[in-house]
Amino acid sequence: MNARPDFLLSVENLTVSFDGFKAVDGLSFYVEPNECRVIIGPNGAGKTTVLDLICGRTKATDGKVEFKNQELLKMREDQIVHAGVGRKFQTPTVYEDLTVFENLEISYPKGHGVFGALMFRRDDPVKSRINEIAGEVFLDDLLDEKAAFLSHGQKQWLEIGMLLIQDPELLMLDEPVAGMSVAERIQTAELLNRIIKDRSVIVIEHDMKFVEDIATRVTVLHQGKVLSEGSMAHVQADPKVIEVYLGH
Amino acid sequence: MLLKGNRFFSTGDLVAFAILAVLIFVILPVGLDTFRLNLFGKYLTYAFVAIGLVLCWGAGGILSLGQGVFFGLGGYCMAMFLKLEASSPEATKIQSTPGIPDFMDWNQITQIPLWWEPFHSLTFSLFAVILIPVAFAFIIGVAMFRRRVGGVYFAIITQAIAAILTILIIGQQGYTGGVNGITDLRTLKGWDIRTDDAKVLLYFVNGGLLFVCLFIAQLIRKSKLGRILIAMRDQEDRVRFSGYDVANFKIFVFCAGAAFAAVGGAMFTLQVGFMSPSFVGIVPSIEMVIFCAVGGRLSIIGAVYGALLVNLAKTTFSELFPELWLLGLGAVFIAVVLAFPNGLAGLYKDHVEPRLLVIFKRKAGDDSSTEDFDAIKTAAE
């Protein structure tokens, strides 16, 4: 099957093997514009590895990843970001020694070359955009706080904010609500529901309630392969899925 | 108010710059005889290296144990020019081949090698002082950072490069002066650099260049690039996945560090009057890291004090306890890393600067004198 131009992202026959062990094995799936795709699966199914492969963190052994008809597998990580793919890591990854404002500023999509960064000026459009994003991720009161002093949940929000400021067309979130308190979880679900509206999103998540809330379609991975794919209701009814995952 | 902060210099930075300027340009020249002043000038040449290390290591997390390479290359470029000028046919008429550097003559070399020729020109030599070390740093940087070599591996490789360059210089005695280095340097365009007047003048030139480097380093630190360096040190992957080509930033800061070190090396040659492989190898390179650590690896001003104090201690204690000195230096390094990871600058920032700011505010007759101590301390951070 050839990549159809109406897909934002087409992953075909994606394979990576670590010393002979195939963490992802001939995986194919397609993401449409404005779709929220949730990837679920038991531990070790290769969920995070798939995101790593798409964003260039891990080099694929075989296969194709096309994003807006560009082959991502040949591109460097920063080029993939500039193509419009944003990635949030599983553990909150923020710059602890910098303030919330500075964290967001670094992700602002301007001055990304060495000399661009030297000449970068914190002008009004930059400030207002940072303020806007900070408001969106509930951190507008903490702009001058060092990121090290944020709670776990706030760090997750900050990292989401750092992605939002890049305005990616494809947003990949690895367990965005893991380790959050109930209150934070509810706020995050509301935040995610808001930000997935005008872009495509791939989310890895274990919280089934949460998945049901946000997913357009669900892909179930098992041992590096697609076990089932479809609506939440479809995969929940799939006997293979119940067998390896949901039934446990 | 005179010491008002701006985008690049907080009030605290300005105070620290001002104090250092007074020390270097007033207190030391007034308080010391020419011999001692020249000695402090020599110490300050290491401060250039330490400033570069603050950028590379303190901010960017790139620990180079081979800064002596760039210090040495800068110093050798300067020394080659001075040596050629000191080797006029009249001055070297007792040699079997007059008109070439003495060590070449001793090594049965009868002609100045081709790659020495351009160093007859002062302009070329001054450019070479900066460009050769920077080009070398660029090559190392591209080779290492593009392949994502970092951390301990990078430190070890830079150390190996320092060792290799030392061996190369010593081995190629006929072209480099070998283990003795390039000695007996006399004049710069006819101006005798060995006189007391010259030494005082060179001290001030050195101090001026040091401040130029400090300003450049401060601008880098306070630009977005400086914050990206800190971000890279903490979370390299996050920077990469925010759309930055991390290697370019590392290469840039490594080259900047090399350029500073090279200026220091050239000023060392001018003030001390020779250059030798003993300022290039592993031991001096590690000492340079210690200057930076003692002064505070996050503070460019701290690095200057670190270079001054450790060198002063080295001169004093190595005369008194020649065998124990190196152990003592090692102990100081360990103590600083364990007890004061931010060095002298960390102590200053926590304990001295807040008090100074209170005094400055009062002197300025600010209405804000009611502000309490803690508020100012927070503002200083």
- Does A152 score more than 80 pLDDT? yes
**What's the Cα-to-Cα distance from A41 to each of A46, A175, A219, rounded to whole Å?**
8, 12, 8
**Chain B residue with Cα closest to A120:** B224
- Among the listed residues A97, A95, A99, the one whose alpha carbon sits nearest the alpha carbon of residue A144: A99
Q: CB within 8 A of A126, min separation 6: which ones?
A: A105, A108, A110
Q: Do A172 and A55 form a contact (C-beta atoms < 8 A)? A: yes
Q: CB within 8 A of A97, min separation 6: which ones?
A: A146, A147, A148, B230, B233, B234
**Nearest neighbour of A77 by CB, restricted to B240, B248, B252:** B240
- Among the listed residues B251, B41, B15, B277, the one whose alpha carbon sits nearest the alpha carbon of residue B135: B251
B225/A89 touch (CB, cutoff 8 Å), yes or no: no
Domain limits for position B222: 32-289
A-chain CB neighbours of B378 within 8 Å are none
Residues B36-52: what's their mean pLDDT?
96
B-chain CB neighbours of A103 within 8 Å are 231
CA distance B302 to B344: 6
Beta bridge partners of residue A67, listed in sequence order: A9, A70
Q: pLDDT tens digits, residue range B285-299?
A: 999 999 999 999 999
**Chain B residue with Cα closest to A111:** B224
Residues B129-151: what's their mean pLDDT?
96
- Does B365 score more than 80 pLDDT? no
B241/A95 touch (CB, cutoff 8 Å), yes or no: no
**Chain B residue with Cα closest to A78:** B243
From B235's Cα to the closest Cα of chain A, the distance in A is: 6
Q: In this predicted structure, what is the pLDDT of residue B375?
A: 45
The amino acid that residue B37 corresponds to is: L
**Nearest neighbour of B243 by CB, restricted to A81, A96, A114:** A81
- pLDDT bin (cut points 50, 70, 90) of residue A246 is low
Q: In this predicted structure, what is the pLDDT of residue B195?
A: 94
Q: How many domains does chain B have?
A: 1
**Nearest neighbour of A106 by CB, restricted to B231, B233, B248:** B231
**Nearest neighbour of A97 by CB, restricted to B223, B234, B242:** B234
A-chain CB neighbours of B237 within 8 Å are 57, 89, 93
**Nearest neighbour of B243 by CB, restricted to A105, A112, A159:** A112
Residues A191-197: what's their mean pLDDT?
86
A166/B243 touch (CB, cutoff 8 Å), yes or no: yes
CATH number assigned to the domain comprising residue A30: 3.40.50.300
**Within-domain flag for B88:** yes
A97/B224 touch (CB, cutoff 8 Å), yes or no: no
Q: Which of B215, B241, B381 to mutate to test the interface with A (most CBs of A within 10 A)?
A: B241
Q: In this predicted structure, what is the pLDDT of residue B79?
A: 97
Domain limits for position A32: 9-246
Q: In this predicted structure, what is the pLDDT of residue B380?
A: 46
CA distance B224 to B83: 43
- Does B379 score more than 70 pLDDT? no
**Within-domain flag for A4:** no
- pLDDT bin (cut points 50, 70, 90) of residue B367 is very low
Q: CB within 8 A of A238, min separation 6: which ones?
A: A220, A227, A228, A230
- pLDDT bin (cut points 50, 70, 90) of residue B60 is very high
Sequence-ordered alpha helix ranges (H) in A9-140: 47-55, 77-83, 100-107, 114-119, 124-136
Q: In this predicted structure, what is the pLDDT of residue B377?
A: 47
**Chain B residue with Cα closest to A167:** B242
**Within-domain flag for B263:** yes
Predicted ipTM of the assembly: 0.90
Q: Which two tokens stand for residue B192?
A: 């005798």
Q: In this predicted structure, what is the pLDDT of residue B364?
A: 65
Q: In this predicted structure, what is the pLDDT of residue B3?
A: 58
- pLDDT bin (cut points 50, 70, 90) of residue B355 is confident
A-chain CB neighbours of B234 within 8 Å are 95-98
Q: What is the DSSP string of A155-188?
A: HHHHHHHHHHTT--SEEEEESTTTT--HHHHHHH
Supply the pTM of this predicted model.
Answer: 0.91
**Within-domain flag for B12:** no
The lowest-confidence range among A100-109, A143-152, B282-291, B334-343 is B334-343
**Within-domain flag for A3:** no
**Within-domain flag for A1:** no
Mean pLDDT, chain B, integer:
91
- pLDDT bin (cut points 50, 70, 90) of residue A4 is low
Q: What is the DSSP string of B100-155?
A: S-HHHHHTT--S--GGGGGGG-HHHHHHHHHHHHHHHHHHHHHHHHTTT--HHHHH
Instruction: Number of A to B CB contacts under 8 A, please give it.
Output: 81
A55/B227 touch (CB, cutoff 8 Å), yes or no: no
B-chain CB neighbours of A159 within 8 Å are 238
Q: Which of B224, B233, B248, B378 to mutate to test the interface with A (most CBs of A within 10 A)?
A: B224
The lowest-confidence range among A60-69, B49-58, B128-137, B350-359 is B350-359
Residues B123-133: what's their mean pLDDT?
97
**Within-domain flag for B339:** no
Q: Do A199 and A32 form a contact (C-beta atoms < 8 A)? A: no
Tell whether the torsion through CA atoms of A128, A133, A137 and A139 is positive or negative: negative
**Within-domain flag for B271:** yes
- Among the listed residues A221, A168, A172, A211, the one whose alpha carbon sits nearest the alpha carbon of residue A189: A211
From A123's Cα to the closest Cα of chain B, the distance in A is: 12
Q: Residue A130, Cβ neighbours under 10 Å: how many?
A: 23
Q: pLDDT tens digits, residue range A18-31?
A: 888 889 999 999 99
From A117's Cα to the closest Cα of chain B, the distance in A is: 5
The SS3 assignment for A126 reads: helix
B-chain CB neighbours of A119 within 8 Å are 223
Cα–chain-centroid distance for residue B359?
32
A-chain CB neighbours of B238 within 8 Å are 89, 93-95, 159, 162
B241/A55 touch (CB, cutoff 8 Å), yes or no: yes
- pLDDT bin (cut points 50, 70, 90) of residue A247 is low
Q: CB within 8 A of B95, min separation 6: which ones?
A: B102, B105
Q: What is the DSSP string of A221-232?
A: EETTEEEEEE-H
Q: In this predicted structure, what is the pLDDT of residue B378?
A: 47
**Within-domain flag for B294:** no
Q: How many domains does chain A have?
A: 1
A118/B225 touch (CB, cutoff 8 Å), yes or no: yes
Q: pLDDT tens digits, residue range A52-69?
A: 999 999 999 999 999 998
Q: Do A24 and A185 form a contact (C-beta atoms < 8 A)? A: no
A-chain CB neighbours of B240 within 8 Å are 77-78
Q: Which of A95, A98, A100 to mutate to test the interface with B (most CBs of B within 10 A)?
A: A95
**Nearest neighbour of B228 by CB, restricted to A93, A117, A162:** A117
Q: In this predicted structure, what is the pLDDT of residue B358?
A: 82
A114/B249 touch (CB, cutoff 8 Å), yes or no: yes
Q: pLDDT tens digits, residue range B189-243?
A: 999 999 999 999 999 999 999 999 999 999 999 999 999 999 999 999 999 999 9
B-chain CB neighbours of A107 within 8 Å are 242-243
Q: Residue B356, Cβ neighbours under 10 Å: how many?
A: 17
The lowest-confidence range among A144-158, B44-58, B262-276, B364-378 is B364-378
Tell whether the torsion through CA atoms of B334, B336, B340 and B343 is positive or negative: negative
**Within-domain flag for B172:** yes
- Does B369 score more than 60 pLDDT? no
Q: pLDDT tens digits, residue range B254-272?
A: 999 999 999 999 999 999 9
The lowest-confidence range among A91-95, B6-10, B92-96, B373-377 is B373-377
